[in-house]
Structure 1
């Protein structure tokens, strides 16, 4: 578990389906993804993260308000392949009702620190669908800069990165 000023980031469990559906079923929250997701998709998502915790020591974590345990989103570090190269990505996706509170940035900074200090990654990236201005702003607030533009699954994707100091 990671604790920040306002948030607690914890591993997902099979019981987080309802939390994730708050995001996955919302077409506005999912506007930069190919589509919304079903409950079956949410269960596969949870299993993917459980596998990532075992294989990579990280995955997407559930983000909750520290003082009351309220679910606000998910953030963490996941493996990706970009142009044939394995990378570790800081990913974040928050419930629309909690946008604009700085939670994504706070969680992404914690994920960055974990990636460098605990996972000893030399570099972390964020893969952002080109029109997703809010995610670009989060990446920049975390200290990332635009590395390149590429196609991921046929979509124009910006690769932001930051290197360990």
Structure 2
């Protein structure tokens, strides 16, 4: 069993495990879900993602968490708080990525809001950011729905991304 970090009315967010690989590949192998990433990910890249996440748990006590339906345990996606280098400063980003068949149900907003509350109330972070691709309208809407405002546009990951933020 992996540690449950938090839950909402409909969702459970728990720590990622090595055996989540096939769930994550549901997202990583989908070119539509991965449209705003440099490319889809194969099993090797997905394992690197899991290793990166587990190292974030160790180093920072946070990271991306697996999002499951509270009632059924069904895998829906991932959402969490990850460190990002923003122009030389480490900032904490709420990131989210969901299985495409689950889009449009409000899961990303619900999970991101839970992560925002957790970041402010449990971790006592002073500020949280989100880094949507400038063309990723659904991700921008999630950031706005949880109270973030647009700060600026930066060049990261070889593309333009917006920096949205909210302070505690």
Contact 1:60–1:74 (Cα < 8 Å) also in 2: yes
Q: Deviation at 1:81?
A: 0.3
TM-score normalised by length of structure 2: 0.96
Verify: 1:36 aligned to 2:45, yes or no: no
> What corresponds to 2:66 in structure 1?
62
- Unmatched segments (≥5 aa) in structure 2: none
Q: Deviation at 1:85?
A: 1.1
Equivalence map 1:32-111=2 (5 Å): 32-111=36-115
Cα distance per residue 1:7-49 (max 9 Å; x no partner): 0000000000000000000000000111000101111111111
TM-score normalised by length of structure 1: 0.98
Verify: 1:148 aligned to 2:149, yes or no: no
- Unmatched segments (≥5 aa) in structure 1: none
Q: Deviation at 1:57?
A: 1.1
Cα distance per residue 1:78-120 (max 9 Å; x no partner): 0000111110000000000000000000000010011111111
How many residue pairs match? The answer is 164
Q: Deviation at 1:163?
A: 0.1
> What corresponds to 1:113 in structure 2?
117
Backbone CA RMSD of aligned residues: 0.6
Counterpart secondary structure, 1:107: helix
Verify: 1:26 aligned to 2:24, yes or no: no
Counterpart secondary structure, 2:97: strand
